[in-house]
Amino acid sequence: MGNLYKLTIFRYDPESNKTSTSKYEVEVTESHWTLLDVFRYIKNNVDDTLTFRYSCGQGICGSCAVTVNGKSVLACETQMKFLDSFDLVVEPLRGFPVIRDLVVDHSVLDDKVRKVMPWLVCKKDSESDKERFQSVEDRAKLDGLYECIICGSCVAACPTFWKNKTFLGPQALLYACRFMLDSRDEGKNERFEILADKDGIYGCHTIFNCMEVCPKELNPGKAILELRKMFMNEEF
């Protein structure tokens, strides 16, 4: 005998433009089952119209973020046995346009991160026959910034983003910080033109939901504070 989970899942049918909820009961007998396994079980055995997005199944591609009992999580790495309830309300990521059921439009994330010049700016050609010097200490500054998988969990958990859709949001700002702290980057001035704004680093209300939900345990809130500090000290 396994544990019986009751799931209430948000549904949106784009063809009729109607929202609803579906209730499913799933008995989980395998101790290692994840939320994604439960979704797939429902799709393959109960209701093949239930629609959700996933790909790697191992917590690294960022496809499968959804909201469970109010919190953004990656479905593929959320073990059923570690959830604190048998009653689950599952919704799409909050604040995102919904395409169908649990699938949201990821181009929101793409549009925002594109705005922050998310690449290493090099003004002069570097010598192609050798790599550039970067000390172990300078490289360590990028830890906690470069690992972002753009799953959207932090953006969906950000009340500022809910209210202000033009706010760059925690993910894009974290991604920007990864370049601002790279000892090899030469684009700090240009990037600050974009970042030092009410829709940028000053839009953040330091609520830190982003840090709470990040599946990679990154801290976009801290990255934003770091950027503010850099701007104040004109360390660029």
Partner 1 sequence: MKDPKVLNEKVVDVPLRNIHKHDVVIVGTGLAGLWAAIECKKAGLDTACMTKLSMPQRSHSIAAQGGTAASLGNLEEDYWEWHMFDTVKGSDFLADQDAAEILAKDAITIVREYEHMGAPFSRTPDGLIAQRKFGGHVKDFGRGGPVLRACYAADRTGHVLLHTLWQKALELGVRFYTEMFAISLITDGPKCAGVVTWDIKSGGLHAFKAKATLIATGGYGRAWKITATAYSYTADGQYMALRAGIPLEDMEFFQFHPTGLFDRGILMTEGCRGEGGYLINDLGERFMKNYAPEKMELAPRDIVSRAITSEIEAGRGINGGPYIYLDIRHLGAEIINTRLPQIREISIKFAGVDPIHEPIPIVPTAHYSMGGIPTDIDGRVWYDGKSQIFSGLYAAGECACVSVHGANRLGCNSTLDASVFGRRCGIAIVKDFANLEHLPLEEDSAKMAKEEIEFILNQKGSIRPEEIRNELQTGMQNYVAVFRDEKGLLKMVSIIEDMHKKMKDMFVSDKSLTYNTTLMEAMELRHLIAAAEAVTYGALNRTESRGAHARRDYPKRDDENWLKHTLYFRDESGFRFDYKEVKITRFFPEERKY
Q: CA gyration radius for the chain?
A: 20
Q: Does 130 bind partner 1 (CB under 8 A)?
A: yes
Of 8, 21, 126, 206, which lies in the binding site for partner 1, with binding defined by CB under 8 A?
126
Q: Does 165 bind partner 1 (CB under 8 A)?
A: no
- Kindly provide the b/e burial profile for residues 193-211, where b requires at least 16 CB atoms within 10 angstroms of the residue's own CB: ebbeeebbbebbeeebbbb
Cα 54 to chain centroid distance, Å, stands at 14
Residue 25 structure tokens: 């009961």
Q: Does 120 bind partner 1 (CB under 8 A)?
A: yes
For the CB of residue 21, give the shortest distance to partner 1 in the complex, in Å.
18
Alpha helices in 7-118 (DSSP H): 35-45, 107-114
Q: Which stretch binds partner 1 (CB under 8 A): 20-28, 133-141, 157-165, 191-199?
A: 133-141
Q: Does 22 bind partner 1 (CB under 8 A)?
A: no
Within 10 angstroms of residue 30's Cβ, the number of other Cβ atoms is 11
**DSSP label of 197:** S
Q: Does 25 bind partner 1 (CB under 8 A)?
A: no
Residue 125 structure tokens: 């050609």
By CB under 8 A, name the binding residues for partner 1.
13-15, 32, 34, 43-49, 51-63, 77, 79, 99-101, 103, 106-107, 109-110, 114, 118-120, 122, 126, 128-136, 139, 142, 146-147, 149-150, 178-179, 182, 184-185
